[in-house]
Amino acid sequence: MAKQRNDELAPLLQALADPTRLEVVQLLSSGPRRAGELADASGLSAPAMSKHLRVLLQAGIVADERPPEDARVRIFRLRPESVVALRAWLDQLQAHWDDQLRSFKQHVEGKR
């Protein structure tokens, strides 16, 4: 189970480790955008933004859609379900640390 979760988390964390991709995720959190809009907002060239979007697509963090009226345009949006595994992992870590801190507190208070 832990191995499977690590296999799910590794690509996600690797994709989010880049500051530019984090910025793209932040920009998309306010709503879908075209690749050109993301490039302009980030100050990147279109080819550079394309590389970052490809990583985010492969990690499943974003999805792209082509509007029926113009198939040349790609609109990118966040896939909120992509962070479910990450959220569960962070919640598990938080619970572990809460237990550790609670035990430490009991230990310290018991010595008084």
- What's the CATH number where 104 sits? 1.10.10.10
- For residue 56, the model assigns a pLDDT of 96
CB atoms within 10 A of CB 63: 15
Profile the chain (112 residues) by mean pLDDT over runs of 10 residues.
Answer: 68 93 95 95 95 95 90 90 81 80 79 68
Residue type at 43 in one-letter notation = G
pTM of the complete model: 0.75
- For residue 49, the model assigns a pLDDT of 96
Domain that holds residue 96: 2-110
Per the structure, the count of domains in the chain is 1
End-to-end distance of the chain based on CA atoms, in angstroms?
Answer: 41
C-alpha distance from residue 107 to each of 98, 101, 111 (Å):
14, 10, 7
- For residue 87, the model assigns a pLDDT of 82
- For residue 76, the model assigns a pLDDT of 97
- For residue 112, the model assigns a pLDDT of 65
